[in-house]
Amino acid sequence: MLIYLNGKLVEKEKALISVFDHGLLYGDGVFEGIRSYDGLIFKMKEHIDRLYRSADAIQLKIPLTKDEMTKAVIETLKANKLNGAYIRLVVTRGPGDLGLDPRKCKAATIFIITDKIALYPKEFYQKGLQIITAKTKRNLVAALDPRIKSLNYLNNILAKIEAIKAGTEEAIMLSYNGYITECTGDNIFMVKDGSLITPPADVGALEGITRDAVIKLSGHAGVGFEEKMLKMDELYSADEVFLTGTAAEIIPVTAIDKKKIGDGKPGRTTLKLWEEFRKLTKTDGVRYDL
Q: How many CA atoms lie within 13 A of 265 on its CB side?
A: 3
The region, left, alpha or beta by phi > 0 then psi within -120 to 50, assigned to residue 108 is beta
173 Cβ neighbours under 8 A, 6+ residues apart: 134, 136, 137, 138, 155, 156, 159, 181, 182, 183, 184, 204
Is 81 noted as a catalytic residue in this protein?
no
What is the 3-class SS of 176-231, one letter each residue?
CCCCEEEECCCEEEEEECCEEEECCHHHCCCCCHHHHHHHHHHHHCCCEEEECCCC
Catalytic residue among 12, 71, 149, 272: 149
* Cross-strand pairs, 150: 30
* Cβ atoms < 10 Å from Cβ of 8: 10
In whole angstroms, give the CA distance from residue 91 to residue 151.
9
Residues annotated catalytic, as ranges = 149
